Structure 1
Amino acid sequence: MDNYTSDEDTDEDFDTQLIIQQSLQDIHQPRTTQQASADESFHSFLSADYKKILETIEAGKEDALSHLTKHHSAFDEADGIGWLPLHRAAVQLNKNILQITLKASKPSVWEQTTHNGETPLFLAVSTCLLENARFLLLNGCNPNAKNSEGNSPLLTGANALGQASDSSSILLEAASGGNPDSVTLLLEHGADANIPKNSGHLPIHVAADRGHLLALKILVPVTDLAAIKQSGISPVHCAAAGAHPECLQLLIQEGFDVNFMLDQRIRKHYDDHRKSALYFAVSNGDLSSVKLLLSAGALPNQDPVNCLQIALRMGNYELISLLLRHGANVNYFCRVNPLHFPSALQYTLKDEVMLRMLLNYGYNTERCFDCPHGDKVHPCYTFEGWTSTVIKDTMFCEVITLSWLQHLSGKVVRVMLDYVDQVRICSKLKAVLQKQGLWSEIHFILTNPRPLRHLCRLTIRHCMGRLRLRCPVFMSFLPLPNRLKAYVLYKEYDLYGQGIFTGTW
């Protein structure tokens, strides 16, 4: 970085920082201040009594407000954004102001909403004013009223972190804020934890997504599994998506299904059409959540895009190892890049550690040498690249001989020969390998019988089948010496297990 900075750059940075700071102040500014300046033109049409009541409420002057209660009609007026004096009082710290205002207001307006659909109770919960919310509930305000986004106060209370939310019912609003006292209060006064917002999310979903453990503990026993099923998404998905392993652990302990799959109407909003909670955790690179899910029985091969593919693209050894040890399919085929050989290999060509991981867990190496052209001349392409023409049923020999990959061909093929019997290489691959430094060793292996011990290992692995190779726990039940088990599982080539954490050629 250059040490020199121009005056113009300094001024621009200062202006940018000032804008950011002002924006942050606006976000944390009390709602009353923001709302009061929202519609200056409409404010001029309000009665003088309304304006005086509003000023008194915001100033917290109890005696003055009591003297104004004789102007009953002014307490029923609303400003340009639908706020009554009762809405203003609901977000004041002084509960006595709210008591006076409620008494002066007609019962018919106690449930009246702002233009955003917020009742006074909703506003009290969203601003974490618990005493105000308790007072309104004791006076019969509806704990299940929703705002224009379909959110209830309970959902708001599960999310209230000192900022108001404009997207929930009152209980849902409480859940999104993570305030356990608000959630408990609403539930005690009849709030329904099974009322979804417009998106279908329940308070339990929002609490799990935001990582509000205390609120989640309260919501778990009062949420119906039928309502969760109807929503099409499990709170397990939400905890995994939000990377909150402590919430995930609670849900698992409470018996939530880690293999609950997203409903089709939810999946369609994701380009990869993901289904499982495990996919969310893997995509986040969240090892703690991945461990919890796999240990609880999450299946790693349920999504259209395999979880192992995501881990391979990240190059995360620990994540790859975890998935493989819990049965991830090394022979998956990618629907986007359909290759003749199993797709996982394309992410490991430059990394021996990852390549050995796949091969040790039963990767179908033979298919890589399955070229229909053999010794014949291969068709020539006038271009190289991943186009719809080249991708379709592309052979391994066509990929590894590309100009930007052929320098890796010798090392990759040499490793792969440790996992196959006698194989024949096609003319195209041979022509490239002959230019590599490892050609003499490769040629010797290809033209001489393989050792008997090597062939026995291949035979045993073939008899076990790839499903058992993908589930190493199976080996613990075999009545074989540990040394033989290690040999069958290629432990001598388990570079990651040996503490090798970089496999770049």
Structure 2
Amino acid sequence: MQSADATSSTMAVTSMALPDRMGTSRGFDDYSLYSALSDDELIQLAIERSFTEDRGYMNSIQSSQAGYWQPNSQPNQFTNNRFITRIRDTSAAMPLYDFPRRSSNPANPPPNLPNVHFPDVSHLVSVIENGDVKTLKKIAICNPKSLLVANDDGWISLHEAAYYGQEECLKIILTVHPEMVNRCGTSNQTPLLLSAVCHHVNCVECLLAHGANPNIANKDGETPLFKVCSKPNIKIVDLLLRYGASVHKSCDAGLTPLHEAAGNDNVKICQMLLEAGAEPNATNIYGINSFFMAAQNGGVNVLSFLMVKGVDINWQASDGATPLYEASKNGHKEVVEMLLSKKADANKTTNNGLLPLHVAVQKGHFDIVSMLIPVTSKYRVKRTGISPLHLSAECNRDWILELLIEAGYDVNVQLSDDRSKMYADRRSTALYFAVANNNIEATKILLDAGANPNLDMLNPLLIAVRRGCIDMTVMLVEHGANMNASILTHPCSFPAGILLSMTNLHFLKFLMDNGCDARSCFDCTYGSKPHPPLEISRNRFLQLASNQDETPRKTCVQFCEAISEPTTSRWAGPIIDVLLDYVGHVKLCSRLIEHLDSYPDWAGIKLKAMPPHSLMQLCRLKIRQQVGNQRLRCINKLPLPDRLIEFLNYNKGELLDI
């Protein structure tokens, strides 16, 4: 009887001392009345009151909220037995609600409890982050609903405790709100997922023991097990597997936990997953399996482990890439060496026709290229339509270029038509790639190895001339580049090299010295007759190093038309003067005469074109013609006096005293 009276008295004190939900006191203002109760008893008392609030208050809260949330799971076996019946009896009648992010009146805490206030989100996060268990217990006793206030990410206090690894805080919150164990944030992150990602082993174990579901995924389909395999933690993996985490559940990209473990070269976790029933050949949306993932990331240990499990080492992904291809691309030398030792096929092509050797060359992995050359079929390389030489020249891999040449790859092999069409200028040789990159060293390597500079639709010499690279031009000329090459898409009646060097007299003279045809510049269909107005802008002819997708011209442009362009006409006199040194009997057309007449200082140039012509000049032209363009550089070897050789090479304008 005394015990019943004491209980009745305690309940009366409780009901009078705790504030009601309108924020007013019921009479007592001395918090010490609860000093006889332990913290756990006070929390349990708060739980009782949170489920026995008067219905009018709940209805007022319900009408003030924009939305509701329902608990993700029913109270579990770890909930205090003393309150299971009460929770079950009231949960259906009184749903829990998502409360405002800040207390309705945080500035006015209950006057009866001077050491406790209604915290806002930031204060509560600070309490949890610092592991202030004492303060959190007071908050849980006086305002248990404040633990359900969500931040902008939808995290409540349980998420924060899981994120910061505060196990004691987790226990307090789960004691008050056990139904929140699977509460998801806006990104569908559960407290368990946050603890797993942050490697808080004790928190993971606590949450699982309180009924956390290990198979709830975030918005990207990533489960706690998936996340912890991507940042390997064996203890947490073991916990999750013991509590029923699925090894088959994949993320939105189709990746499984085994993919992640293999990608991190963690043999132990891979073994745990396989023992739990993981499928070693499961693929993601790109057809990549765990073995492929390990090769892609350089996981030598996992590769060795998975080979024992019978995985196909030549597995091809959706794009046709193999583990060997991926290892070669990413520069994993040890993986390539191991795969080749296990007879991995180096001649499987991707969907775009490339072999592992191609991608190793492209990425500049010298050691891997050295390993792949002996096991790669040159016949299969030829069928791909592109040689490793093309890629080494395109990517400026000079040291690999030499290695491939030493291995016997043909320096004059051309791209297939399909691959050549992928380039606007229709390039086809490795030499063209080197010249286009202005790579003098690679150009020299290829030319010395016997590269023919005249195989491309657009002669590499014209690229060098257009860019004004004298060293490159000299090398190409010395190795027999066609001085009179033309541009098929923009035909003209004279060599394209002259067109491209009109503003550089030094280049122009070099071309003339080496056999460029100057006479064609003076062949004009109109002669001394009036010329029609110009229709073509010379600027259209200067696009050779860039896009060549214009509609080809049907008519040839003559020299007199090209030199009449505004950007070139001011050089007309000196250009004609240089050209006249390399021709005999020619007649200037009316347009060229107009140019020479436009400037008084050019009058002597016009006289230079008129007969009679110097016999010495005519003899020099005849001798050079007999020698031929391809042997002009050999004139120095003729058994002739030095002064005569200099004259033939245009090092002297006149030959005197001979």
Q: Same fold (TM over 0.5)?
A: yes
SS in 2 for 1:318: helix
1:190-213, Cα deviation, whole Å (9 max, x unpaired): 211111111001111111111111
TM-score norm. by structure 1 comes to 0.78
Report how far residue 122 of structure 1 moved.
1.4
> Aligned in 2, Cα 1:455/1:69: closer, same or farther, shift over 3 Å?
same
**Following the alignment from structure 1 to structure 2, what is the Cα–Cα distance between the partners of residues 368 and 264?**
34
Q: What residue is the counterpart of 1:271 in the other structure?
A: 424
1:405-441, Cα deviation, whole Å (9 max, x unpaired): 2211111011111111132111221121022344233
Query: Higher mean Cα deviation, 207-216 or 388-397?
Result: 388-397
Trace 1:60-139 onto structure 2 (pairs within 5 A). 60-63=232-235, 65-66=237-238, 74-105=246-277, 109-139=279-309
> Aligned in 2, Cα 1:477/1:202: closer, same or farther, shift over 3 Å?
farther
Q: Which runs of 5+ in 2 are unaligned?
A: 1-185, 194-212, 541-550, 654-658
Q: What residue is the counterpart of 2:603 in the other structure?
A: 440
SS in 2 for 1:134: helix
Match of 1:457 among 620, 624, 630: 620
Contact 2:490/2:553 (<8 A) preserved: no
**Following the alignment from structure 2 to structure 1, what is the Cα–Cα distance between the partners of residues 285 and 552?**
55
Q: What residue is the counterpart of 2:406 in the other structure?
A: 253
Q: Which runs of 5+ in 1 are unaligned?
A: 1-38, 153-169, 494-505
Q: Find out whether 1:187 has 2:358 as its counterpart.
A: no
SS in 2 for 1:447: coil
> Aligned in 2, Cα 1:71/1:225: closer, same or farther, shift over 3 Å?
farther
> Aligned in 2, Cα 1:384/1:209: closer, same or farther, shift over 3 Å?
closer
Q: Find out whether 1:143 has 2:313 as its counterpart.
A: yes
Contact 2:214/2:240 (<8 A) preserved: no
**Following the alignment from structure 1 to structure 2, what is the Cα–Cα distance between the partners of residues 382 and 88?**
65
Q: What residue is the counterpart of 1:160 in the other structure?
A: none
Report how far residue 114 of structure 1 moved.
0.9
> Aligned in 2, Cα 1:67/1:395: closer, same or farther, shift over 3 Å?
closer
**Following the alignment from structure 1 to structure 2, what is the Cα–Cα distance between the partners of residues 422 and 368?**
13
Contact 1:46/1:79 (<8 A) preserved: no
Q: Find out whether 1:237 has 2:387 as its counterpart.
A: no
Q: What residue is the counterpart of 2:557 in the other structure?
A: 394
Contact 2:584/2:618 (<8 A) preserved: yes
Report how far residue 296 of structure 1 moved.
0.8
Query: Higher mean Cα deviation, 57-66 or 330-339?
Result: 57-66
**Following the alignment from structure 2 to structure 1, what is the Cα–Cα distance between the partners of residues 535 and 292?**
66
Report how far residue 268 of structure 1 moved.
1.6
**Following the alignment from structure 1 to structure 2, what is the Cα–Cα distance between the partners of residues 181 and 144?**
17
> Aligned in 2, Cα 1:409/1:120: closer, same or farther, shift over 3 Å?
same
Contact 1:332/1:343 (<8 A) preserved: yes
Report how far residue 250 of structure 1 moved.
0.8
Trace 1:15-414 onto structure 2 (pairs within 5 A). 47=215, 51=223, 53-54=225-226, 56-58=228-230, 60-63=232-235, 65-66=237-238, 74-105=246-277, 109-152=279-322, 170-381=323-534, 392-414=555-577
**Following the alignment from structure 1 to structure 2, what is the Cα–Cα distance between the partners of residues 279 and 411?**
32
Q: Find out whether 1:490 has 2:643 as its counterpart.
A: no
Contact 2:454/2:482 (<8 A) preserved: yes
Contact 1:151/1:173 (<8 A) preserved: yes
**Following the alignment from structure 2 to structure 1, what is the Cα–Cα distance between the partners of residues 407 and 453?**
22
Contact 2:258/2:270 (<8 A) preserved: yes
**Following the alignment from structure 1 to structure 2, what is the Cα–Cα distance between the partners of residues 382 and 451?**
38
Report how far residue 55 of structure 1 moved.
5.2
Q: What residue is the counterpart of 2:108 in the other structure?
A: none
Query: Higher mean Cα deviation, 370-379 or 54-63?
Result: 54-63
One-letter amino acid matched to 1:198: N
1:278-331, Cα deviation, whole Å (9 max, x unpaired): 111111111111111111111111111111111122111111111111111111
Report how far residue 64 of structure 1 moved.
5.2
Report how far residue 100 of structure 1 moved.
2.5
Report how far residue 477 of structure 1 moved.
6.4
Report how far residue 216 of structure 1 moved.
0.8
**Following the alignment from structure 2 to structure 1, what is the Cα–Cα distance between the partners of residues 482 and 597?**
33
One-letter amino acid matched to 1:192: D
SS in 1 for 2:598: coil
Q: CA RMSD in A?
A: 3.0
> Aligned in 2, Cα 1:59/1:313: closer, same or farther, shift over 3 Å?
closer
> Aligned in 2, Cα 1:284/1:199: closer, same or farther, shift over 3 Å?
same
One-letter amino acid matched to 2:251: D
Contact 1:171/1:203 (<8 A) preserved: yes
**Following the alignment from structure 2 to structure 1, what is the Cα–Cα distance between the partners of residues 216 and 560?**
85
Q: What residue is the counterpart of 1:418 in the other structure?
A: 581
Report how far residue 479 of structure 1 moved.
4.7
SS in 1 for 2:302: helix
Q: Which has the higher contact order (CA 8 A, sep 6+)?
A: 1
Contact 2:490/2:552 (<8 A) preserved: no
Report how far residue 489 of structure 1 moved.
3.4
Contact 2:230/2:257 (<8 A) preserved: no
One-letter amino acid matched to 1:140: G
1:61-109, Cα deviation, whole Å (9 max, x unpaired): 4355456666899223323322222112112254322232234335xx2
Larger Rg: 2
**Following the alignment from structure 1 to structure 2, what is the Cα–Cα distance between the partners of residues 440 and 316?**
33
> Aligned in 2, Cα 1:375/1:218: closer, same or farther, shift over 3 Å?
same
Contact 1:60/1:94 (<8 A) preserved: yes
**Following the alignment from structure 1 to structure 2, what is the Cα–Cα distance between the partners of residues 483 and 207?**
55
SS in 1 for 2:246: helix
> Aligned in 2, Cα 1:58/1:240: closer, same or farther, shift over 3 Å?
closer
Query: Higher mean Cα deviation, 347-356 or 403-412?
Result: 403-412
1:2-44, Cα deviation, whole Å (9 max, x unpaired): xxxxxxxxxxxxxxxxxxxxxxxxxxxxxxxxxxxxx967999
One-letter amino acid matched to 2:300: L
**Following the alignment from structure 2 to structure 1, what is the Cα–Cα distance between the partners of residues 590 and 231?**
88
How many residues align? The count is 433
One-letter amino acid matched to 1:88: E
> Aligned in 2, Cα 1:492/1:204: closer, same or farther, shift over 3 Å?
farther
Query: Higher mean Cα deviation, 421-430 or 396-405?
Result: 396-405
> Aligned in 2, Cα 1:323/1:365: closer, same or farther, shift over 3 Å?
same
Query: Higher mean Cα deviation, 399-408 or 120-129?
Result: 399-408
Contact 1:342/1:364 (<8 A) preserved: yes
